[in-house]
Structure 1
Amino acid sequence: MNYKWSRYLRMILLFLAAAFLAGLVVGYPLEGLLAGLLVYLAWTLAQARKLYRWLSNPGAGQEAPESIGLWGDIFDGLHKLHRGHLATQDRLLSQFNRIQESTNAMRDGVVMTDANGVLEWWNDSAEYLLGLKRRTDRGQPIQNLIRAPAFKRYFSQRDYRDPLEMNSPARPHLHLHIQISLFGEDERLIVVKDVTRLFQLEQMRRDFVSNVSHEMRTPLTVISGYLETMVESADELPARWRRALNTMAQQSTRMEALITDLLMLSKLETGEQHGPETVVDIQALCRQICNDARALSGDSGHQFQLDIGERHYLRGDEDQLRSAFSNLVFNAVKYTPAGGRISIHWSTNRDGAHLSVKDTGIGIDPVHIPRLTERFYRADPSRHKETGGTGLGLAIVKHVLLNHDGTLEIRSEIGGGSEFICHFPRIRLAEPVPAEVSAPEIGDEM
């Protein structure tokens, strides 16, 4: 590059020297030099005019203007850059068209917006699922086109860890699963999935469980009533009939408990069981549960320890919390040998509130812990009449905690007892109702 520039500079100097010598021959050396400069300037302006006209309309002709010397190389270099630019543009356009065709072939809707929610692009599935129109909606804020309050809150909150489920604004019979991702400078990529079939299947399952449980409750109540009457008069029957009646009565009681838990779990899933939130006194609630657990323990001689911290008021549904806590405590009673210890501890810290139910029972193999909250899953596969429950208790606990923004932590090992910890976020902590007088703190043996 330096060699070419030196050569061009020598050519210019030789031209000016020739003009100077020509002027010297006629007796006007300076005028000759000035004439040479003017000629070179005019030629340079002519080349610049060619360059300007070509750059102003490069598509009119693919070939660059013809020239020599420095300007010829400039034209050739710009022409190569222009051809490379056109090739890159064609390649990018081809890739873009391919991506657009592939996204249009997707069954999921894809929408791109800027940081303010202005629609920039969407595929055909999004047009069908959300009712967007290409001719009129491009450049419009998506909040003005999808007016559902739930979508507006979800779009503006900027916390997209959990997806949004809602009905389609254009086709209400479709149930949509919407997930938003941030990219670039707060731009948003919206993926919309049609989950109507899954939603309907889940709804059918819930309705089936609820309806069957309701239908079974009435005949089972009648059967239990007759069995109870027959058991009261069992002394007049042979021994083998008494044994059969007692077994039938026990299994009838277990079936009633199973139906009750199924109905409660169904209501928790559908939101029917969610009552108005109040300020719940955890101390008073745990004392009641502990008294019920002592009655359940009977002659087993379990030792109960209740330790409640200072901040023992939680905002939530008292009936749901009672159901969850009692499930944990009663399970501890069932799976702890006679004379064992059961500790109930409530504490608060910067992360929130925590209720721990710890026992000295038989423990659980850690391999079972990830699945303990599944419906009907049992770490102990036996259906022993003394310890076997419905298999729904921990599923109920999980759904109650979900309704209260909480989580369940399980720690256990074989022979080392178990500990179930309910974690509640800090925003759930509440102050006592002024009209109530707080109960004294309990930390003694019961």
Structure 2
Amino acid sequence: MQQNWSRNLRYTLAGLAGTTLVGLYLGYPVYGLTAGLGIYFLWTLNQTRRLGQWLANPDAADEAPQSLGMWGDLFEKLHKLNQNYLQTRDRLRARIDRIQESTNAMHDGVVMTDASGAMEWWNGAAEHLLGFRRNSDQGQYIYNLIRTPVFKSYFDAKDYREPLELHSPAKPHIHLQIQISLFGEDDRLIVAKDVTRLHQLELMRRDFVSNVSHEMRTPLTVISGYLETLVDNADELPAKWRRAVNTMATQSYRMEALITDLILLSRIETGEQTVNDATTDVNKLIRQICQDARTLSGENQHEISFEASDPHRLKGDESQLRSAFSNLIFNAVKYTPARGSITVSWFTNSLGGHLSVKDTGAGIDQVHIPRLTERFYRADPSRHKDTGGTGLGLAIVKHVLINHDGSLEVRSRLGEGSEFVCHFPVERLVEGPAE
């Protein structure tokens, strides 16, 4: 390219020199040079006009304007740049069209908004699930169309680790799960999934568990009462019946414990046990539970210690907190060998309040930890008969913590014991000693 410009410059200078020589031959060298410059200036103005007309609509012509010298090179280079731009534009447009076609084929609603929430694009499923209208809703703020305060708070919080569930603003019978992802400069990609069927199944499961548990409690109470009477008078029974009666009594107690936990879990899940605004003296509560745990330990003589760093109280429902804390501490007693140690700690820091229950038991394999809070899940099913647990303790703990804006962390390795830590946010803490 440098060579072309040098060549064009030489041609221009040669032309001016030629007109000057002609003027010199006629006796007017200055007029000859002036005429050459004037001709070159008029030609340059004409090329500039052609360039302006072409740049105004470069797609109208398949070929670039034809010219000589540096103007010809300039037209050719601009034409190549324009062709590359058109190819890149067509390729990107094809990709965008393909993405939009594939997104429109999805059953989930997809919405793109800018950082402020103004809607830029959405697919057909979003129109069905959320009731958006393509002709009138373009550029509208999405939280003005989904008029739910919880959605506005979720949108502004920028904490999208957990999805949000709500009813469709256009079709209230549809239950939606909303998940937001950030991209670009805080732009949002919003995905709305229809989880109506799952929501209905979950409600049916809760109702079924609650109803069956209540229906079973009455006959089981009668059976347990008669078995207790038989156990109290076991000396009057034939020897071959004593073992059977004792086994039935043990199993009936276990069934009663299972039903009690099922009813408690059902009440916590369905909101029958709402979290009140009372404050709980955590130190006093844990000391009581530790004393009960020592009684439960009995002949196993576990070393149970409680450490408290400050007198902070916790805002929440004391009965639910008692259920959660006692499940963790009693589990430590059940799964720790005789004469093992159990350390219970309550402490606070800038992140909130934390209850730690640490034991010297056999530990838990890492593969089981993600599923420990599932109902009836057991890391070691073979220990079911020995511990007499219901398999619902950690599920109760999880839902109690959810009700108190908390979370459960499990730290454990095989052969190294386990530590269960309940985390509560700073907003749940109340300063000062118990009243």
> What is the TM-score normalised by the length of structure 2?
0.91
Q: Which residue of 2 aligns with 1:296?
A: 296
2:110 counterpart SS class:
strand
Q: Which residue of 2 aligns with 1:394?
A: 394
Alignment of 1:239 with 2:239, yes or no, is yes
2: CA distance, partners of 1:241 / 1:283: 47
Amino acid at match of 1:381: P
1: CA distance, partners of 2:335 / 2:42: 103
Aligned residues with identical type, % of pairs: 65
Amino acid at match of 1:151: F
1:310 counterpart SS class:
coil
Q: Which residue of 1 aligns with 2:139?
A: 139
Q: Which residue of 2 aligns with 1:443?
A: none
Q: Which residue of 2 aligns with 1:41?
A: 41
1: CA distance, partners of 2:143 / 2:371: 40
Label 1:316 to 1:24 Cα distance change in 2 as closer, same or farther (>3 A).
same
Q: Which residue of 1 aligns with 2:378?
A: 378
Shift of 1:101: 1.0
Label 1:410 to 1:19 Cα distance change in 2 as closer, same or farther (>3 A).
closer
Amino acid at match of 2:313: Y
2: CA distance, partners of 1:86 / 1:80: 10
Shift of 1:340: 4.6
Work out whether residues 344 and 358 of structure 2, in 8 Å CA contact, stay in contact via their aligned partners in 1: yes
1:135 counterpart SS class:
coil
Label 1:8 to 1:336 Cα distance change in 2 as closer, same or farther (>3 A).
closer
**Residues 136-166 of structure 1: per-residue CA shift (max 9 Å, x gap):** 0111111111111111111111121221111
2:45 counterpart SS class:
helix
Farther-moved stretch of structure 1 (366-375 vs 148-157):
366-375
- Listed as ranges, the matches of 1:25-424 within 5 Å are 25-298=25-298, 300-337=300-337, 339-360=339-360, 362-367=361-366, 368-382=368-382, 387-404=387-404, 405-411=406-412, 413-414=414-415, 417-424=417-424
Shift of 1:59: 3.3
Work out whether residues 162 and 179 of structure 2, in 8 Å CA contact, stay in contact via their aligned partners in 1: yes
Work out whether residues 280 and 313 of structure 2, in 8 Å CA contact, stay in contact via their aligned partners in 1: yes
Farther-moved stretch of structure 1 (246-255 vs 269-278):
269-278
Amino acid at match of 2:430: A
Q: Which residue of 2 aligns with 1:440?
A: none
Shift of 1:188: 1.1
Work out whether residues 21 and 29 of structure 2, in 8 Å CA contact, stay in contact via their aligned partners in 1: yes
Q: Which residue of 2 aligns with 1:444?
A: none
- Structure 1 unaligned regions, length at least 5: 438-446
2: CA distance, partners of 1:304 / 1:252: 30
1:251 counterpart SS class:
helix
Amino acid at match of 1:60: A
Shift of 1:115: 1.3
Work out whether residues 177 and 192 of structure 1, in 8 Å CA contact, stay in contact via their aligned partners in 2: yes
Work out whether residues 282 and 314 of structure 1, in 8 Å CA contact, stay in contact via their aligned partners in 2: yes
Shift of 1:278: 2.2
1: CA distance, partners of 2:25 / 2:336: 124
Shift of 1:43: 1.3
2: CA distance, partners of 1:428 / 1:398: 17
Work out whether residues 382 and 388 of structure 1, in 8 Å CA contact, stay in contact via their aligned partners in 2: no
Work out whether residues 302 and 333 of structure 1, in 8 Å CA contact, stay in contact via their aligned partners in 2: yes
Amino acid at match of 1:411: S
Shift of 1:329: 2.2
Label 1:419 to 1:56 Cα distance change in 2 as closer, same or farther (>3 A).
closer
Label 1:135 to 1:193 Cα distance change in 2 as closer, same or farther (>3 A).
same
Label 1:109 to 1:7 Cα distance change in 2 as closer, same or farther (>3 A).
same
Work out whether residues 168 and 174 of structure 2, in 8 Å CA contact, stay in contact via their aligned partners in 1: yes
Amino acid at match of 2:109: G
Shift of 1:399: 2.2
- Structure 2 unaligned regions, length at least 5: none
1: CA distance, partners of 2:60 / 2:357: 82
Label 1:84 to 1:294 Cα distance change in 2 as closer, same or farther (>3 A).
closer
Shift of 1:298: 4.3
Label 1:380 to 1:7 Cα distance change in 2 as closer, same or farther (>3 A).
closer
1: CA distance, partners of 2:113 / 2:59: 32
Aligned residues: 433
2: CA distance, partners of 1:93 / 1:338: 71
Label 1:417 to 1:79 Cα distance change in 2 as closer, same or farther (>3 A).
closer
Q: Which residue of 2 aligns with 1:442?
A: none
Shift of 1:365: 4.4
Label 1:332 to 1:161 Cα distance change in 2 as closer, same or farther (>3 A).
closer
Work out whether residues 234 and 242 of structure 1, in 8 Å CA contact, stay in contact via their aligned partners in 2: yes
Work out whether residues 280 and 314 of structure 1, in 8 Å CA contact, stay in contact via their aligned partners in 2: yes
2:143 counterpart SS class:
helix
Label 1:210 to 1:13 Cα distance change in 2 as closer, same or farther (>3 A).
same
Label 1:183 to 1:338 Cα distance change in 2 as closer, same or farther (>3 A).
closer
1: CA distance, partners of 2:378 / 2:187: 46
**Residues 88-142 of structure 1: per-residue CA shift (max 9 Å, x gap):** 2222222221111111111222111111111111111112111111100111111
Work out whether residues 64 and 79 of structure 1, in 8 Å CA contact, stay in contact via their aligned partners in 2: yes
Label 1:385 to 1:60 Cα distance change in 2 as closer, same or farther (>3 A).
closer
Label 1:201 to 1:2 Cα distance change in 2 as closer, same or farther (>3 A).
same
Farther-moved stretch of structure 1 (365-374 vs 135-144):
365-374
1: CA distance, partners of 2:56 / 2:413: 77
Label 1:119 to 1:335 Cα distance change in 2 as closer, same or farther (>3 A).
closer
Instruction: Give the CA RMSD over aligned residues.
Output: 2.4
1: CA distance, partners of 2:87 / 2:384: 76
**Residues 171-226 of structure 1: per-residue CA shift (max 9 Å, x gap):** 11222121111111121111222222222222222222122111111221222233
> What is the TM-score normalised by the length of structure 1?
0.89
1: CA distance, partners of 2:124 / 2:105: 8
